[in-house]
Structure 1
């Protein structure tokens, strides 16, 4: 049993139940809604994937998807459209709305299950890759991809050198780096850099990260480290 929760939205109740039965046999947690309006009454944010029919009652699957993608809390939830509409324009419309896949009726249940598995696996891998670019310590986050540091979700403006020093120390929590090591790693392409330059950058960095400044510890005669147990 896995923890993925899927919502199937289709005005064909029999089809909803067939999809629900087969997806649950694969270990997914599945809910159904027989209209877009009914789906909007649910907490969409709890789902890892949405299977949406396009042609439904008053509100279409396209309109439902548009609403979902405009909300910050649900915009990243992957969507697969399941529909009898199979024209190129319809597919382009779906993808432009943020759909991740498009399955045309009639379809085989094996195809639906295979595409669901593939999409959830890709989303999971993307999430893991994104997490690997983040370093966190309590309420402080260092984003290597965006080169940003935030504390309590508020961005802290750092210079390039300050950012690189923080990342070096935090990524090697507890390890002491001598001034020579920091110079070699951070100022490796610069010829004339004084030890005092490192001290100045460390002092500024401590002030900027506020309460976490005390975690950057000076080991007299040795260098600097980031202590995670402070």
Structure 2
């Protein structure tokens, strides 16, 4: 029996881009929907359960950053930003407000599809890593195969990026992990020198931990060094 195709919402006000991206995704077996503004995107996200969002940053009215912020209150599905702006600051801002990846225009079909597949694998728990296993610390179990975080108090609803961040911390439970190490291991972007995005995601991660009924103090700040997950 065939698997249900992943649903993807593409938001861009350039018809040439939406036609190109929509066609490429459909050809690869995905189920894309296309809108040209943030308001319609929010309405579509309210009505449908999307597996991934592809957002342009320069949208009319509500820009892609604000759209991402609002989507994050409704869904943990990964967000891939598209933009003609390709500075380090643009990428950092996108990460800080909840984005999972950033693709600069112009881009090729192969790179687009590779990024989409990688984000979907992470979010759906199908990342093919030979050393995948369950990590347990302080009563919380992180299953790298199923991409779930569970414990006595219940499940912790994490975005793909938050999951990678927590996995890095829990694999080193009891040890201090620097912001640079977290940025490298959770994002894979060694060339980014800005580390404030790590602090932003740590705060969001603590909020998620607390909302699920656990102590947010499980993730400790070690001033001048980085962060540590309690054993």
Q: Count matched residues.
A: 139
2:152 aligned to which of 129, 148, 155: 148
TM-score by length of 1: 0.54
Which residue of the partner structure matches residue 22 of structure 1?
A: 24
Cα shift at 1:43:
3.0
Distance 1:144 1:110, change over 3 A: closer
Distance (whole Å) between structure 1 residues aligned to residue 118 and residue 127 of structure 2: 14
2:50 aligned to which of 47, 50, 59: 47
TM-score by length of 2: 0.54
Secondary structure of the residue aligned to 1:95 is helix
Distance (whole Å) between structure 2 residues aligned to residue 94 and residue 149 of structure 1: 31
Secondary structure of the residue aligned to 1:31 is strand
Q: Which has the larger radius of gyration?
A: 1
Distance (whole Å) between structure 2 residues aligned to residue 39 and residue 8 of structure 1: 8
Secondary structure of the residue aligned to 2:33 is strand
Distance 1:107 1:127, change over 3 A: closer
* Structure 1 outlier segments of 4+, above 6 Å: none
Gaps of 5+ in 1: 134-141, 151-230
Gaps of 5+ in 2: 143-149, 155-231
Task: Within 5 Å, give how 1:1-230 maps onto structure 2.
Answer: 2-44=4-46, 46-69=49-72, 71=73, 73-74=74-75, 76-125=76-125, 144=141, 146-148=150-152
